[in-house]
Amino acid sequence: MTIGFGFIGASGIAKHKMLAAIRNTPDCEVVSVYSSNLERGRAYAAETQIPHAASSLEDLLANPAVHAVYISTTNELHHAQTLAAAQAGKHVLCEKPLAMSQLEAQTMLAACREAGVVLATNHHLRNAHAHRAMRDLIANGAIGKPIAARVFHAVYLRESLQGWRLDKPEAGGGVVLDIVVHDVDTLRFVLQAEPTEVISLSQQFGMSAGSVEDGSMAVFRFANGVIAQVHTAFTVPYAGNGFEVHGTDGSLIAKNVMHPAAQPEVLLRTANGEQRLELAANEVYSLGVARFIAAIQGTGKPAASGEDGLWSLASALACLESAHTGQKVAISV
Ligand code: NDP
């Protein structure tokens, strides 16, 4: 059976990444798009060759050709739109951060569970070959017992993205809800451990406005004892990016792995010397869609579940709270 997707949100990520990811997945198609502005929705549908622009969320959810929705509106809308989709019996692939609060995210998980629909979170980085290889090497003892990790994920926010992320706290703006959520999800995936507490400082360096931060440095502690330093920013043009895990018997040092299109460089350094892993950049969004479809068909699990989205949201919210209070903040879901 062909799985029809309804897009909730005529967004950039849907147009530039997810449309192709869905169209490249066998037995999938995008059948309708909902925008809060019907004219914009129609123009978006015409430009992207989506056959239908829905006049309302109810219109999209009442469409029997829509079996699943991909939600990529601004963050404050994810909660209510997921509840509506679940009530209509549609499977949900939702963007990160899953919601604006843990309570909202928990309600979303419960609603999807009760409705018997799949809830997945679009954490794409865990689908990268590089992160999967690092996770497997660590699980197989290649670096001994992991001690510490470092994530470098400071970017210069493209002009086209310099909107609500910079000045709308009510829409979930800020670098922590935008990027730290991805970094924590990737750490959880690679380390196979949950974060337990965080201490952080945030920064405003001329790009964001009001109470919204455009830079953050945080240290997370994980249940397996690892401490992980995470640097994120919207303001840094030339830092590059990286992900390192250091253990008792070796270190994994990866560069170019926090941006999916880049060619990854992953080095394993142990007493035996240095080994470069031969890894190609891969289509991370397609893999996420394929895993979502497998979950719908009962043959697999989402790459990142609703619970994964809840954990990364809880971690990012704790990171924000720590920066605001100056205190270490416990993380639990
Ligand atoms: P956009 O700013 O492109 O879109 C968000 C909303 O803004 C849309 O739903 C749309 O509302 C409105 N909008 C977009 N363009 C216009 C316009 N030209 N004029 C008026 N309104 C407009 O957001 P992003 O695509 O950057 O992000 C959307 C979501 O996806 C967020 O939750 C974000 O965190 C997440 N994201 C995830 C990524 C990932 O790799 N997993 C990467 C990037 C974003 P309407 O639908 O009502 O028309």
DSSP letter string, 221-289: EETTS-EEEEEEESB-SS---EEEEEESSEEEEEES-SSTTSPPEEEEEETTEEEEE------HHHHHH
Atom of ligand 1 nearest to the CA of 178: 34
Task: Indicate whether residue 247 lines ligand 1 (CB < 6 A).
Answer: no
Confidence of residue 251 (pLDDT cuts 50, 70, 90): very high
Task: Indicate whether residue 163 lines ligand 1 (CB < 6 A).
Answer: yes
Task: Indicate whether residue 11 lines ligand 1 (CB < 6 A).
Answer: yes
Q: Mean of the pLDDT values across residues 237-266? A: 95
Question: Looking at the predicted structure, is the pLDDT value of residue 149 above 90?
Answer: yes
Say if CB 260 and CB 281 are below 8 A apart: yes
CA quadruple 168, 103, 331, 194: dihedral positive or negative? negative
Confidence of residue 169 (pLDDT cuts 50, 70, 90): very high
Q: Mean of the pLDDT values across residues 79-105? A: 98
Say if CB 295 and CB 5 are below 8 A apart: no
Q: How far apart are CA 209 and CA 33, in angstroms?
A: 31
Report CA(13)–ligand 1 centroid distance (Å). Answer: 6
Task: Indicate whether residue 81 lines ligand 1 (CB < 6 A).
Answer: no
CA atoms within 13 Å, Cβ hemisphere of 124: 19
Say if CB 118 and CB 112 are below 8 A apart: yes
Q: Say what percent of the chain tops pLDDT 70.
A: 100
Atom of ligand 1 nearest to the CA of 177: 34
Q: Which of 75, 34, 280, 317 is nearest to 198 (CA)?
A: 317
Task: Indicate whether residue 37 lines ligand 1 (CB < 6 A).
Answer: yes
CA quadruple 251, 252, 254, 257: dihedral positive or negative? negative
Pocket test of ligand 1: the residue of 7, 13, 32, 259 to mutate, having most ligand atoms within 8 Å of its CB, is 13
- Give the strand order in the sheet containing 28-34: 53-54, 28-34, 3-8, 68-71, 91-94, 119-121
DSSP-based three-state secondary structure for 134: helix
Q: Mean of the pLDDT values across residues 169-185? A: 97
Q: What pLDDT, on a 0 to 100 scale, did the predictor assign at position 265?
A: 96
The phi and psi torsions of 258 (rounded to 5 degrees) equal -100, 5
Question: Looking at the predicted structure, is the pLDDT value of residue 152 above 90?
Answer: yes
The tokens 């549908």 sit on which residue? Answer: 45
Question: Looking at the predicted structure, is the pLDDT value of residue 234 above 90?
Answer: yes
Strand partners, 150: 229, 244
The per-residue DSSP string of 9-33 comes to S--HHIIIIIHHHHHTSTTEEEEEE
Count CB neighbours of 4 within 10 A.
20
Q: What pLDDT, on a 0 to 100 scale, did the predictor assign at position 86?
A: 98
Q: Mean of the pLDDT values across residues 48-56? A: 98
Report CA(148)–ligand 1 centroid distance (Å). Answer: 34
Question: Looking at the predicted structure, is the pLDDT value of residue 282 above 90?
Answer: no
Pocket test of ligand 1: the residue of 11, 76, 185 to mutate, having most ligand atoms within 8 Å of its CB, is 11
Q: Mean of the pLDDT values across residues 255-266? A: 92
Question: Looking at the predicted structure, is the pLDDT value of residue 320 above 90?
Answer: yes
For atom 1 of ligand 1, the residue with the nearest CA is 11
Q: Which of 143, 195, 167, 199 is nearest to 74 (CA)?
A: 167
Question: Looking at the predicted structure, is the pLDDT value of residue 323 above 90?
Answer: yes
Task: Indicate whether residue 72 lines ligand 1 (CB < 6 A).
Answer: yes
Task: Indicate whether residue 168 lines ligand 1 (CB < 6 A).
Answer: no
List the structure tokens of 207: 């790009």
Confidence of residue 261 (pLDDT cuts 50, 70, 90): confident
Task: Indicate whether residue 144 lines ligand 1 (CB < 6 A).
Answer: no
Q: Which of 181, 151, 144 is nearest to 254 (CA)?
A: 151
The tokens 């129609």 sit on which residue? Answer: 42
List the structure tokens of 93: 């692939």
Confidence of residue 254 (pLDDT cuts 50, 70, 90): very high
CA quadruple 192, 194, 199, 204: dihedral positive or negative? positive
DSSP 160: G
Task: Indicate whether residue 75 lines ligand 1 (CB < 6 A).
Answer: yes
Atom of ligand 1 nearest to the CA of 41: 48
Q: Mean of the pLDDT values across residues 235-242? A: 97
Q: Say what percent of the chain tops pLDDT 90.
A: 98
Task: Indicate whether residue 10 lines ligand 1 (CB < 6 A).
Answer: yes
Task: Indicate whether residue 196 lines ligand 1 (CB < 6 A).
Answer: no
List the structure tokens of 79: 């909660």
Strand partners, 231: 152, 217
For atom 28 of ligand 1, the residue with the nearest CA is 72
Atom of ligand 1 nearest to the CA of 161: 26
Question: Looking at the predicted structure, is the pLDDT value of residue 1 above 90?
Answer: no
Mean pLDDT of the chain: 97
Q: Which of 240, 219, 242, 220 is nearest to 131 (CA)?
A: 242
Report CA(73)–ligand 1 centroid distance (Å). Answer: 5
Q: How far apart are CA 325 and CA 199, in angstroms?
A: 10
Task: Indicate whether residue 73 lines ligand 1 (CB < 6 A).
Answer: yes
Q: What is the pLDDT of residues 181-201, one digit of tens each?
A: 999 999 999 999 999 999 999
Helix (H) and strand (E) counts in the chain: 12, 15
